A and B are shown apart, each in its own frame.
Chain A
């Protein structure tokens, strides 16, 4: 498959560890944030989202934290598995009346067995 990100920040963890991926967003007026996972040769896959009126949201094995004061978003993955290896993107919606997602640069997560 093709390489999604050639020179991305990389987070290397052991299987079973918890992973934290961070993201800084740009627009203080953004009201909707999403984390996507992209495996090589595939389109981004929705993981979890959060609206600006919340500061934490939990899914299955994943938690997203939003700190609007410093415009920071994080994705926590519990008990990381080799299948979690991928590039992770945060995205913010800056559109009004339509969704215009602005994606971050991405972080490559490598999970070792």
Chain B
């Protein structure tokens, strides 16, 4: 059984640019949730994708968007990057949108300069 994987591991972008982060869910899991973790803080929920549709969203602006593909992998896109977007971006997969354990990937460290 393959765990949750994310790519890239690290990324450096300039303010105003756009970025795409990728996540492959654990085998058999149909739900992916994305979180932002600033240094020294707990993860903050961005949104969840279930069966290729956004199923719930946290307090993040529309420049944070996502996709989920038929194989349940997912992308997080962030437009017009700001310095405060620098963080560890985590995805978590689960079986079911509102039940089941969420298993986290190792994260992508995004630095915006």
Residue-by-residue, is A26-54 near B (CB-CB < 8 Å gives 1, otherwise 0)?
Answer: 00000000101000011111100100000
Q: Are B101 and A5 in contact (CB under 8 A)?
A: no
The distance in angstroms between the C-alpha atoms of A101 and B55, with both chains bound, is 14
A74 to chain B, nearest CB (A): 17
Known A98-B50, A102-B45; contact A5-B56, beta-carbon cutoff 8 A: no
Number of contact residues on B: which range applies?
Answer: 20 to 34
The distance in angstroms between the C-alpha atoms of A60 and B56, with both chains bound, is 33
Residue of A nearest to B101 (CB): A46
A46 to chain B, nearest CB (A): 5
Number of contact residues on A: which range applies?
Answer: 20 to 34
The distance in angstroms between the C-alpha atoms of A61 and B39, with both chains bound, is 29
Q: Are A99 and B98 in contact (CB under 8 A)?
A: yes
Q: Are B103 and A105 in contact (CB under 8 A)?
A: no
8 Å CB contacts to A: which residues of B84-111? Answer: 88, 90, 92, 94, 97-99, 101-107, 109
Known A95-B56, A98-B55, A98-B97; contact A45-B104, beta-carbon cutoff 8 A: yes
Q: Which of B45, B94, B98 contacts A97 (CB 8 A)?
A: B98
A38 to chain B, nearest CB (A): 9
Residues in chain B within 8 A of chain A (CB atoms): 4, 31, 33, 35, 39-45, 48, 50, 55-56, 58, 88, 90, 92, 94, 97-99, 101-107, 109
